[in-house]
Structure 1
Amino acid sequence: MNFAEILLERKLLLLGNFVLTSGKVSPYYLDLRPLPNYPEFYDIVNMAINKVKELPHDIIVGIATGGVPLASFIACNLREPMGYIRIEKKGHGTNRTLEVNVKGKRVLLIDDVATTGTSIEKATLEIVNGGGIVSDALVIIDRQEGASQRLEKLGIKLHSLFRISEILDQLLKSDKLKENEKKAIVDYLVKNVEK
């Protein structure tokens, strides 16, 4: 499976100028939320299952919205308990962000993409406030822009199925990109992506 080309073909990796949550402007944007619409999602789920089997955890928690489908499929296949965490409170009902009891449990966090690690950090704080423990997080793609270092300070190891440098390297070697797109990506990688 050439995941880099699949991302481009399925328009899950978009090229242009995109403002990220951090405020940085990037020549590419990853939108993996539609990934479950495609058959390749099952290959990703199987890769993730193999990783999850190696990681210490009692429960799997998906970070909304991108991490929830992946966490659900993993938990279902492994017949393990699963919950999820909202980005923000609903403002009605129980008004919780954490939709699972994590007290005394080792939680494995699942998300689709990690950039700076703020989403995983916020989720970790919610889990810790709920009495849970987080030592590991798994994402499909690590954008390699500081997430692993940020999480390391919290005692969390970030695992990824793919690193953006590997994905973009494959595309740079292919004939799928225009020369100006290649240049913009190379410039961005040099300035922003950790090795």
Structure 2
Amino acid sequence: MNFAEILLERKLLLIGNFVLTSGKVSPYYLDLRPLPSYPEFYEIVHIALKIVKELPHDILIGIATGGVPLASFIACNLKEPMGYIRIEKKGHGANKLLEVDVRGKRVLLIDDVATTGISLEKAALEIMRQGGKVTDALVIIDRQEGASQRLSKIGVTIHSLFKISDILDELIKSNRLGDNEKKAIIDYLVKNIEK
């Protein structure tokens, strides 16, 4: 499976100028939320299963919204419990972030993309606050912009199925991008990818 080509063909990876949540301008944008609607998602789940089986955990927690489908498919395949955590409280009902009891449990956090790691860190800290233990997180793509360093400070190791540098390197070597797009991506990677 050439995931870089799939991302481009399915328009899950867009090339251009995009303002990220952090305010940075990026020459590419990843939106993996539609990925479960494509058959390639099953291959992604299969790759993830191999990693998850090696990581210590009692329960899988998907980060809403991107991590929930992956966590669900993994949990169903492994016949394991799962839950999810919101980015923010809904403001009504029980007004909870975490929709599962994690007290005394080892939690494996699941999300689609990691950039700076802020949402993963927030989720991990909330789980710890509620009595759970988080040592590992799994994402489909690591944008390599600080997530692993941020998470390591709270004792969490990030695992990814793919690194953005590898995906973009494949696209740069292909004939799918124009010279200006290649240059913009290379410049961005040099300035922003964590070493």
TM-score by length of 2: 0.99
Query: Within 1, Cα distance between the matches of 2:130 and 2:20?
Result: 29
Unaligned runs of 5+ in 2: none
- Amino acid of the structure 2 residue aligned with 1:69: P
What is the Cα-based RMSD across aligned positions, in Å? Answer: 0.5
Unaligned runs of 5+ in 1: none
- Residue in 2 aligned with 1:173? 173
- Residue in 2 aligned with 1:194? 194
Find runs of 4+ consecutive structure 1 residues off by over 2 angstroms: none
| 1:27 correspondence with 2:36 | no
Deviations 1:154-181 (A, max 9, x none): 1000000000000000000000001111
- Amino acid of the structure 1 residue aligned with 2:38: Y
Query: Within 2, Cα distance between the matches of 1:108 and 1:86?
Result: 15
- Residue in 1 aligned with 2:159? 159
Query: Within 1, Cα distance between the matches of 2:172 and 2:165?
Result: 10
Deviations 1:60-87 (A, max 9, x none): 0000000000000000100000000011
CA positional deviation for 1:49: 0.6
Deviations 1:36-77 (A, max 9, x none): 010000000010011000000000000000000000000010
- Amino acid of the structure 2 residue aligned with 1:192: N
- Amino acid of the structure 2 residue aligned with 1:190: V
Query: Within 2, Cα distance between the matches of 1:3 and 1:64?
Result: 23
- Amino acid of the structure 2 residue aligned with 1:179: D
| 1:39 correspondence with 2:39 | yes
- Residue in 2 aligned with 1:141? 141
Equivalences, count: 195
CA positional deviation for 1:140: 0.2
CA positional deviation for 1:93: 1.1
TM-score by length of 1: 0.99
CA positional deviation for 1:187: 0.5
Query: Within 1, Cα distance between the matches of 2:82 and 2:194?
Result: 32
Query: Within 1, Cα distance between the matches of 2:34 and 2:129?
Result: 31
SS at match of 2:51: helix
CA positional deviation for 1:21: 1.1
Query: Within 2, Cα distance between the matches of 1:181 and 1:75?
Result: 39
CA positional deviation for 1:108: 0.1
